[in-house]
Chains A and B, each alone.
Chain A
């Protein structure tokens, strides 16, 4: 057996028996999708709630046709009696709609009817609902006006000189992908969380528990020992990433996104593409963790350094969210940012240039190997045994 294989095998066996570390390593990939599910469900419910409003109304019996039209627009109405202004002032109601008693008469006389909306302009929370009611009344007005014009042989278009129309170039999938920015974040974070325990335990931990001296007395090159540990940590990190990806996708498919006009559909080839896009990151992340583990003076030190390291992907995500950037090919070569961009594109069913995969994989692998070499050099020093 090759020394790298021997060290690799021992580290994997050792780590799979550490129940607590396993819980930390794979608890995250299991929890993240649960979080995704509840967040998405909450977002959808909020949107649905905003659309389904209840309007307290006075004098509904004065305008039966209007009331029927409102009910067709998915608006719930409730009869209101009492002092409307006082109720709004006391924050018992967001708004009250008052239909005047002369509604039917003025309608027949073709005169303008004014419907009062009693609201409090200082209350920002009720503004969307008030705006919605204004829009509804405007829509009803346009509909009746159009009918009157048509009855007189005039096209309703004479009333509409100029209108604006939005052309949204984002596909439904893409809009979903931006809403799903956190799935790439979770997958990238899994790379940090899942391999961390093994990386720290097999470096700083080995030193702390005084097993390092006996290990390096064996006739094996130090870089071979480090490589074995590196590959073992990478396997853990990759498993964590794959698990997070699959479970997040499973969670998303359980969320009824179509209710808010979004679409989420991932095919098997896309899953493979996403894995190809992200797994090289595992090699880099674990190499950083090993380096810190060897560099740290103690186990505790190593844990705090590596904890700080985990903030990196969060920063990269925040950057892409707050300063929308035009994706350039070279950006794929930046670890984490590259993976993030690739994932967003694949989730959004956009074509990613092949060179993007190449850049992101190669940069992670090359940097990872360079860091492992540095780690091996540090591991070679005589002072490795003295803390």
Chain B
């Protein structure tokens, strides 16, 4: 479970996050929705332990991220928005590197790696160096290495961005499977249909503030619009004026 209470973060004069609160529960998919520059990535980076909020609190499974960063980081799996890989390492080596940094036992590491390679349908590319991998293949490597330690919370920054239909489907299936295993899934996106299809709970952020949150029905009701996309635009514009 991820709990965020009134966090704010400024870079110099720019207030990237002004006041954001939400809860991502276990067994639920929570979507962080907002236009570009709304503060989604900053909020997520605070949750990863890469940035420290100026005010408010952020907790993972009851562990305060600011005061107990390493412990909190053990409880999360992250697919960050940069999908850089080490071009001279193989897919399997990438997964192993991250598993070991999570202090995994070697036997467990091996069996979990094989399991993930199978789920993500990447057994044929496991021993290949990632140089020359397609965008979808790279994404799968990133996904696998973020799930290797079987974390109880998953944070995904724009996970289906630029993926082909087949890979998008794999990612969706993956998210559904994580949800079934009672894992808290938090993902950010600016794609409306993606969010409405997958999320149990939606948090709409604009200009560093939460403008609405709830189920798709609740969001539509708040904006007095029938279409979710229209609702999103209305809510975002309401803040801007």
Contacts and interface: CB of A to CB of B under 8 A. Distances in A.
A123 interface: no
A382 B51 contact: yes
B230 to A, nearest CB: 35
A23 interface: no
Interface stretch (B21-29, B86-94, B183-191, B197-205): B86-94
A10 B84 contact: no
B137 to A, nearest CB: 16
Given A219-B73, A219-B74, A3 B101 contact: yes
A341 B68 CA distance: 49
Contact of B73 (A213, A217, A382): A217
A13 interface: yes
A14 B89 contact: yes
A218 B101 contact: yes
Interface string A4-35: 00110010011001100000000000000000
B71 A219 contact: yes
A385 interface: yes
Given A13-B93, A14-B89, A217 B82 contact: no
A220 interface: yes
Interface string B185-227: 0000000000000000000000000000000000000000000
A104 interface: no
A210 B142 CA distance: 12
B102 A217 contact: no
Contacts of A215: 101
Contacts of A219: 69-71, 73-74, 101-103
Contacts of B87: 209
Nearest to B9: A382
Given A1-B100, A6-B101, A13-B93, A211 B86 contact: yes
A210 B78 contact: no
B70 A214 contact: no
A219 B85 CA distance: 19
Nearest to A3: B101
Interface in A181-240: 209-221
Interface string A317-353: 0000000000000000000000000000000000000
B228 to A, nearest CB: 31
Q: How large is the interface on A (under 10, 10 to 19, 20 to 34, 35 or more residues)?
A: 20 to 34
A339 B102 CA distance: 41
A219 B49 CA distance: 9
A218 B97 CA distance: 10
B97 A17 contact: no
Contacts of A214: 78, 80, 82, 84, 98, 142, 145-146
Interface string B61-81: 000000001110110101011
B52 interface: yes
Nearest to A225: B101
B232 interface: no
Contacts of A1: 100
Nearest to B106: A1
Contacts of A6: 97, 100-101
B50 A217 contact: yes
A215 B73 CA distance: 12
Contacts of A10: 86, 89, 93, 97
Contacts of A3: 101
Interface string B43-54: 001001111100
Nearest to A212: B84
Contacts of B181: none
A217 B146 CA distance: 10
Nearest to B89: A14
A215 to B, nearest CB: 8
Contacts of A210: 82-84
Contact of A217 (B71, B80, B83, B97): B80
A213 B89 contact: no
A10 B101 CA distance: 11
B70 A14 contact: no
Nearest to A17: B88
Interface in B1-52: 45, 48-52
A218 B80 CA distance: 12
Given A14-B86, A214-B98, A214-B146, 18 more contacts: A1-B100, A6-B97, A14-B89, A209-B86, A210-B82, A211-B84, A213-B81, A214-B78, A214-B80, A214-B82, A214-B145, A217-B48, A218-B73, A218-B98, A218-B102, A219-B69, A219-B73, A382-B50
11 contacts: A1-B100, A13-B93, A14-B86, A213-B82, A217-B78, A218-B98, A218-B101, A219-B74, A219-B101, A220-B70, A220-B101
Query: Which 8 interchain pairs have the tightest Cβ spacing?
Result: A210-B84, A210-B82, A219-B73, A211-B84, A218-B101, A17-B88, A219-B70, A219-B74
